[in-house]
Amino acid sequence: MHISEGILSAPVLFGGAALSIGGLTVALRRLEPQHIPQTALLCAVFFLASFLRVPLGPGSAHLVLCGLMGALLGWGAFIGIFAALLLQGLLFQFGGLTTLGVNTFNMAAPAVFLSALLGRYLSSPNALAANLAAFCIGCIGLLAAALLTAVSLWISGEHFLPVAQALFIAHIPVAVVEGLVTVGCVQFLRKVRPDALPCANQGSEK
C-alpha cells in the first residue's frame, strides 16, 4: 500500500500532493482541541498496524486500518494518516517523502468519504445497522484505498498494470479482516465510550 520513491510519474505526484494538502487544510480547520489525543492515539495504532505483516504468496500484506481512522476521526483521518506515513518514511523508509501526498490521499480520502456517508449509523440504536456500517467502512475503505493505489501505479505507466492488479487482489482478504476489526472496535466503543463515535465528532465540526 506504500508506494515507494521513483515509481510514480510527476503529474501523479503533484496531483496527490495537491489533493492531500487540500484534505489536510480542511482537517486542521475542523480539528477541535479535545480531539487531538484521540487523533494521536489512532495515528499510533495506524503506525503500528503496518508492522503486523501476513505472508501472501511471494509477498505480504498488512493491516492498514484506514477505515477505522475515518470511522472515528472523520476528516481527522487525513492528519493521523499523514503523520504516521511521514514517520514511517523517515524512520523505516516505508513509502517515501515524494510519494507522501499520494499515499496519504489514497488511504485517507475513501475513509473520510465513507465516514461521511455511513458514520451516523455507528451510533444507531440498531446494533445490526451499526455493525454493517462499521464493516462497510473498514472493508470498502481498504478496498478503495487499494484501488486508488493501483490506479496511481497504472496511470504512471502501463507496465505497472500487473503489479497494480496483484496489489488490489492481495488486499481483498485483508479488507475483510479490516471490516471485522472495525466492527469489533465500534462494538466496544458503543458499550464504553459512545461519545467517541462519529456523531459526537461531526456534531462539533458543523
Helices (H) then strands (E): counts for the chain: 8, 2
Measured between alpha carbons, how far is 138 from 76 in angstroms, rounded to an integer?
A: 16
Q: What are phi and psi of 55, to 5 degrees?
A: -60, 135
Helix (H) or strand (E) holding 59: strand 59-62
Q: How many CB atoms lie within 10 A of CB 101?
A: 23
Q: What CA–CA distance (Å, rounded) separates 83 from 43?
A: 7
pTM summary value: 0.85
Residue type, 175: A
523508509: which residue's cell? 93
Mean of the pLDDT values across residues 118-133?
A: 91
199/10: higher pLDDT: 10
- Report how far Cα 77 is from the mean position of its chain's Cα atoms: 7
pLDDT at 30: 92
What pLDDT shows up at residue 204? Answer: 37
Read off the pLDDT of each residue in 112-119 and give the average, rounded to a whole number.
Answer: 92
Domains and CATH numbers, the chain: 10-205 (1.10.1760.20)
Residues β-bridged to residue 55? 60
- In order of 50, 100, 183, the CA distances from 89 in angstroms are 12, 8, 29
User: For 146-198, how does the pLDDT look when each residue is reduced to its tens digit (9 = 90+)?
Assistant: 999 889 988 887 788 888 888 888 888 889 989 999 999 999 998 888 877 76
pLDDT for 60 equals 53
Q: Which cell is 90 given?
A: 523517515
Residue type, 49: A
Q: What is the pLDDT of residues 11-69, one digit of tens each?
A: 999 999 999 999 999 999 998 888 899 899 999 988 888 777 665 444 456 788 889 99
Element (H, E) at 184: helix 161-192
Surface-to-core class of residue 57, CB atoms within 10 Å of its CB (0-12 exposed, 13-18 middle, 19+ buried):
exposed
pLDDT of residue 95 exceeding 90: no
pLDDT at 142: 93
